[in-house]
Structure 1
Amino acid sequence: MTVNDDSFTNWKTREEIAESMIPIIGKLHREQDVTVLLHSRSLVNKSVVSILKTHRFARQIAGTELSVTETMPFLQALTTLDLGPSQIDIALLAETYRTDDRGLSVEEFTAEAVAGATGENKIERSESRDVVLYGFGRIGRLVARLLIEKAGSGNGLRLRAIVVRGGGDQDIVKRASLLRRDSIHGQFQGTITVDEANSKIIANGNEIKVIYSDDPTSVDYTAYGINNAILIDNTGKWRDRAGLSKHLRPGIAKVVLTAPGKGDVPNVVHGVNHDMIKPDDQILSCASCTTNAIVPPLKAMADEYGVLRGHVETIHSFTNDQNLLDNYHNSDRRGRSAPLNMVITETGAASAVAKALPDLKATITGSSIRVPVPDVSIAILSLQLGRETTREEVLDHLRDVSLTSPLKRQIDFTTAPDAVSSDFIGSRHASIVDAGPTKVEGDNAILYLWYDNEFGYSCQVIRVVQHVSGVEYPTYPAPAV
């Protein structure tokens, strides 16, 4: 047998194992509300090749490829346990088992590692929580996709309605079409039909009422059977407490803004300060995509090295707020053609750091350049640290943070030497550390942080909404603190 034959046989074997994983992962998800992860990446509803690629990803950050032959025994062990709603990372199970010298079997080790999710310790399945989307633009439709994707997983979030301004004939058909097909993020994973007579979009069996209104105070959501809902305002039209309070109508209990909040509206970056949300908080903001991109790695660096001062320069994809061709705009430069120019503009991300990291006393400044790409941006974060270090130490630290820390859902890590912006379309992380261009000299460090400013940010919004709804399920094995 040739080497090529060996490689092909090995591939077919791993392919067969990955194929057998799919029904186990699906059953755990549907029947026990267990989301199986691999290095914080969900394996639910993933294809055979996607499962294999996710295993191979470990080579980039851990140095060695993780094989399905290693993780499959832990997945099988989970099926023997009385599990409650949880997220379980089989990569971490496999890797911690390697270093455990107690001689436990896979089954014994797994039962011990996830004991908090089993038997009398397990939490009860949550009742579904109504969600309303106010606005249905770029972020609104991606948040809708995520909510529909998670429906039935037990996370308790159920998209009940979207509120939009009337748009003329076949409005609902056109909105459904925009949900179905996206030039950047591809086809919707599932089926979408339209019930024009009842003003509903049915996506993967989820009936979503389309409500037409120009005024938040004119809607009584209880008339549509919606109660105690979380409303996600992705219009950005109202950003202070007075404006957002208009949404607190019958049927709406809380309002989450997908833009930086003004005044005393809390700016929340999940993974960093979401624990500050009080049960009686009715209005909060998920800050901006750039704030979500820079705050987690900034916290990781501050915790380890201290940060005295910093500057962030964002090279940001153009947005719907800019003009396609030169035309009048309220801002000085955003009126110039977005697909033809680099446009210097302002960013509030640096000033928003103080809200998300109040204990950080360092001054962080920032500016932004909009560039002619439709999605994925990069933040260049230049820091003066509290102590001297080396490039290798910083990269090892950030790699470990991306794998095992409480920030592993926010921070990703890549060593790919040829990575470019389009490679990160669809990333679910708030930011991705690019190891290649990272520079460290003494107490100065420059980090290059990619982020999908649409989808990655939308994932952060969903995490905040899950937390607010009280159904953010624990992850096992517990991340290192």
Structure 2
Amino acid sequence: MTVNEDSFTDWNNREEIAESMIPMIGKLHRERDVTVLLHSRSLVNKSVVSILKTHRFARQIAGEELSVTETLPFLRALTTLDLGPSQIDIGMLAATYKTDDRGLSVEEFTAEAVAGATGADKIERREPRDVVLYGFGRIGRLLARLLIEKAGSGNGLRLRAIVVRKGGGQDIVKRASLLRRDSIHGQFQGTITVDETSDKIIANGNEIKVIYSDDPTSVDYTAYGIKDAILIDNTGKWRDREGLSKHLRPGIEKVVLTAPGKGDVPNIVHGVNHDTIKPDEQILSCASCTTNAIVPPLKAMADEYGVQRGHVETIHSFTNDQNLLDNYHSSDRRGRSAPLNMVITETGAASAVAKALPDLKARITGSSIRVPAPNVSIAILNLQLESETTREEVLDHLRNVSLTSPLKRQIDFISAPDAVSSDFIGSRHASIVDAGATKVEGDNAILYLWYDNEFGYSCQVIRVVQHVSGVEYPTYPAPAD
């Protein structure tokens, strides 16, 4: 047999193993509300090739490829346990098992590692929490995709309604079409139909009512059977407590803003300060996409080395508030053609750091340049540290943070030397550390942080919503502090 045939046989064997994993992953998700992860990446509803690629990607962060032959025994062990709602990382199970010298079997080790999700300690499945989207633009439609995706188990969050202003003819048909096909993020994974007579979009079996309204104070959500819902305002029209309070109507319990909040509205970056949300807080903000990109790695660096001061320069994709061609705009430079120019503009991300990291005394400044790319941005974080270090130490630290720390869902790590912006479309992390671009000299560190400013940010919003709704399930093995 030739080398080529050996490689092809190995590929076929791994395909067969990945195929056998799919029904186990699906059954755990549907019947027990268990999300199977691989180094923080969900394997639910993934194809054979996607599962294999996710395993292969492990070499970017862990240093070596992870094989499905290594993770399959742990997945099988999970199917034998009486699990409650949880997220279980079989990549971390496989990695920690390698370093365990007690001679336990895979089954014994797995049962011990996920003990908090079994028996008397397990969380009981909860009734789904109603969610309403106020607005249905770029972020709104991605939030809808994520909410529909996460409704697969029948629990967790349930998208009940979308509130928009009435457009022209075939309004609901056109909105459904924008949900179905996206020029950047591709096709919707599933089926979408429209019931024009009842103003409903049915996506993967989820009936979503389209409510037409120009004024949030005019809507009674209980009339649509909605109760105790979390409303996500993705219009950005109101950013202070007074304006956002307009949404607190019958049927709505909490309001989450997908833009930086003003005044005393808490700005929340999941993974960093979401545990500071007071149970009775009704209004909160998820800050901006850039704030979510820089705050987690900034915290990781401050915790390890201390930070005296810093500056963030954001090279940001153009957004819908800019003009396609030169035209009047309330902001001087944003009136110039977005697809034809680099446009210097302001960013509030640096000042928002203080809200998310109040204990960080370092002064952080920031500026931004909008560039002719439709999605994915990069933040260049230039830090003066309190202690000297080396490039190797910083990269090892950030790699470990991305693998095992409580920030592993926020921070990703890539060492590919040819990575470019389009490679990060669809990333679910708040930011991705580019190892090859990182520069460290003494007490100065410069981090290059990629982020999908649409989808990655939307994932952060959903994490906040899950937290305040009480359906943010624990992850096993538990991340290191």
Matched length = 481
Task: Give 2:323's aligned residue.
Answer: 323
Give the distance between the partners of 2:430 and 2:31, measured in 1 at CA.
30
Q: Give every structure 1 segment of 4 or more consecutive aligned residues whose post-TM-superposition deviation is greater than 3 Å.
A: none
Shift of 1:386: 0.8
Deviations 1:222-250 (A, max 9, x none): 00000000000000000000000000000
Question: Is this contact kept in 2: 1:271–1:406, CA < 8 A?
Answer: yes
Helix, strand or coil: the match of 1:387?
strand
Task: Give 2:395's aligned residue.
Answer: 395
Give the distance between the partners of 1:430 and 1:252, measured in 2 at CA.
28
Helix, strand or coil: the match of 2:244?
helix
Helix, strand or coil: the match of 2:330?
coil
Helix, strand or coil: the match of 1:35?
strand
Question: Is this contact kept in 2: 1:310–1:384, CA < 8 A?
Answer: yes
Give the distance between the partners of 2:220 and 2:70, measured in 1 at CA.
53
Deviations 1:255-280 (A, max 9, x none): 00000000000000000000000110
Give the distance between the partners of 2:89 and 2:265, measured in 1 at CA.
34
Shift of 1:152: 3.3
| Residues 1:186 and 2:186 are matched in the alignment | yes
Give the distance between the partners of 2:343 and 2:28, measured in 1 at CA.
48
Shift of 1:61: 1.1
Shift of 1:3: 1.0
Shift of 1:441: 0.2
Helix, strand or coil: the match of 2:131?
strand
Deviations 1:108-129 (A, max 9, x none): 0000000000011111001111
Deviations 1:3-29 (A, max 9, x none): 111111111111100000000000000
Give the distance between the partners of 2:177 and 2:185, measured in 1 at CA.
14
Helix, strand or coil: the match of 1:202?
strand
Question: Is this contact kept in 2: 1:126–1:154, CA < 8 A?
Answer: no
Deviations 1:421-441 (A, max 9, x none): 000000000000000110000
Question: Is this contact kept in 2: 1:134–1:235, CA < 8 A?
Answer: yes
Give the distance between the partners of 2:156 and 2:437, measured in 1 at CA.
41
Shift of 1:156: 1.7
Give the distance between the partners of 2:6 and 2:287, measured in 1 at CA.
51
Shift of 1:71: 0.3
Seen in structure 2, the aligned counterparts of structure 1 residues 314 and 155 have a Cα distance that, compared at 3 Å, is farther
Give the distance between the partners of 1:129 and 1:65, measured in 2 at CA.
38
Seen in structure 2, the aligned counterparts of structure 1 residues 440 and 154 have a Cα distance that, compared at 3 Å, is farther
Deviations 1:171-229 (A, max 9, x none): 00000000000000000000000000000000001000000001000000000000000
Question: Is this contact kept in 2: 1:411–1:429, CA < 8 A?
Answer: yes
Give the distance between the partners of 2:80 and 2:207, measured in 1 at CA.
35
Bigger mean CA offset, 117-126 vs 343-352: 117-126
Give the distance between the partners of 2:61 and 2:136, measured in 1 at CA.
37
Helix, strand or coil: the match of 1:412?
strand
Task: Give 2:340's aligned residue.
Answer: 340
Question: Is this contact kept in 2: 1:344–1:369, CA < 8 A?
Answer: yes
Task: Give 1:140's aligned residue.
Answer: 140
Question: Is this contact kept in 2: 1:129–1:229, CA < 8 A?
Answer: yes
Helix, strand or coil: the match of 2:36?
strand
Task: Give 1:85's aligned residue.
Answer: 85
Give the distance between the partners of 2:45 and 2:169, measured in 1 at CA.
36
Matches within 5 A, 1:74-473: 74-153=74-153, 155-473=155-473
Give the distance between the partners of 1:147 and 1:191, measured in 2 at CA.
14
Shift of 1:153: 2.4
Question: Is this contact kept in 2: 1:39–1:89, CA < 8 A?
Answer: yes
Deviations 1:255-307 (A, max 9, x none): 00000000000000000000000110000000000000000000000000000
Seen in structure 2, the aligned counterparts of structure 1 residues 155 and 404 have a Cα distance that, compared at 3 Å, is farther
Seen in structure 2, the aligned counterparts of structure 1 residues 154 and 89 have a Cα distance that, compared at 3 Å, is farther
Shift of 1:60: 1.0
Question: Is this contact kept in 2: 1:59–1:66, CA < 8 A?
Answer: yes
Give the distance between the partners of 1:396 and 1:3, measured in 2 at CA.
35
Helix, strand or coil: the match of 2:373?
coil
Shift of 1:168: 1.5
- Considering only aligned residues, what root-mean-square deviation do their CA atoms show, in Å? 0.5
Question: Is this contact kept in 2: 1:155–1:466, CA < 8 A?
Answer: no
Give the distance between the partners of 1:396 and 1:376, measured in 2 at CA.
25
Bigger mean CA offset, 181-190 vs 151-160: 151-160
Task: Give 1:57's aligned residue.
Answer: 57
Question: Is this contact kept in 2: 1:155–1:473, CA < 8 A?
Answer: no
Helix, strand or coil: the match of 1:442?
strand
Deviations 1:10-65 (A, max 9, x none): 11111100000000000000001100000000000000000000001111111111
Seen in structure 2, the aligned counterparts of structure 1 residues 112 and 154 have a Cα distance that, compared at 3 Å, is farther
Helix, strand or coil: the match of 1:445?
strand
The TM-score with structure 2 as length reference comes to 1.00
Give the distance between the partners of 2:199 and 2:32, measured in 1 at CA.
34
Question: Is this contact kept in 2: 1:384–1:443, CA < 8 A?
Answer: yes
Bigger mean CA offset, 146-155 vs 375-384: 146-155
Question: Is this contact kept in 2: 1:36–1:87, CA < 8 A?
Answer: yes
Bigger mean CA offset, 149-158 vs 81-90: 149-158
Give the distance between the partners of 1:153 and 1:258, measured in 2 at CA.
26
Question: Is this contact kept in 2: 1:32–1:84, CA < 8 A?
Answer: yes
Give the distance between the partners of 1:151 and 1:98, measured in 2 at CA.
34
Seen in structure 2, the aligned counterparts of structure 1 residues 414 and 36 have a Cα distance that, compared at 3 Å, is same
Question: Is this contact kept in 2: 1:155–1:472, CA < 8 A?
Answer: no
Q: Which runs of 5+ in 1 are unaligned?
A: none
Question: Is this contact kept in 2: 1:254–1:282, CA < 8 A?
Answer: yes
Give the distance between the partners of 2:133 and 2:295, measured in 1 at CA.
26
Give the distance between the partners of 1:155 and 1:474, measured in 2 at CA.
15
Give the distance between the partners of 1:155 and 1:365, measured in 2 at CA.
42
Give the distance between the partners of 1:402 and 1:156, measured in 2 at CA.
26
Deviations 1:113-148 (A, max 9, x none): 000000111110011110000000000000000000
Shift of 1:458: 0.2
Question: Is this contact kept in 2: 1:221–1:249, CA < 8 A?
Answer: yes
Question: Is this contact kept in 2: 1:125–1:154, CA < 8 A?
Answer: no
Helix, strand or coil: the match of 2:366?
strand
Shift of 1:96: 0.6
Helix, strand or coil: the match of 2:365?
strand
Helix, strand or coil: the match of 2:169?
coil
Deviations 1:286-343 (A, max 9, x none): 0000000000000000000000000000000000000000000000100000000000
Question: Is this contact kept in 2: 1:85–1:154, CA < 8 A?
Answer: no
Give the distance between the partners of 1:388 and 1:115, measured in 2 at CA.
41
Question: Is this contact kept in 2: 1:36–1:42, CA < 8 A?
Answer: yes
Shift of 1:102: 0.6
Shift of 1:154: 5.2
